[in-house]
Amino acid sequence: MRCPKCGSPLKEEKYAGVVLVDRCSSKDCGGIFFDGGELEILMKAKAPLLQRIFGR
């Protein structure tokens, strides 16, 4: 797969030990792209940390 922003190859990486995300291999771009539902999974898994940081 290619980065939708710059066209560089994407690499799959485990993010925060929870989900596999697609990361752009370009150092200039470095975009992170989530498949459907992955952001929600990550947010749920990290909710306690986010609550401590943002106080909600």
Contacts of 3 (CB under 8 A, 6+ apart): 9, 10, 24, 25, 26, 29, 31, 33
Residue 48 lies in a domain: yes
Is 49 contained in some domain? yes
In a domain, 16, yes or no: yes
Q: What is the pLDDT of residues 35-52, one digit of tens each?
A: 999 888 888 888 887 778
CA dist., res. 32 & res. 46, Å (int): 17
Q: What's the pLDDT score for residue 56? A: 54
Please report whether residue 4 resides in a domain.
Answer: no
Residue 48: which domain range? Answer: 10-54
Domain count, the chain: 1
Establish if 20 belongs to a structural domain. Answer: yes
Q: Give the C-alpha separation, 46 to 56, whole Å.
A: 13
pTM summary value: 0.68
Partners of 20 in the β-ladder: 14
> Hunting for tokens 């999974």 — which residue is that?
41
Residue 5 falls within a domain, yes or no?
no
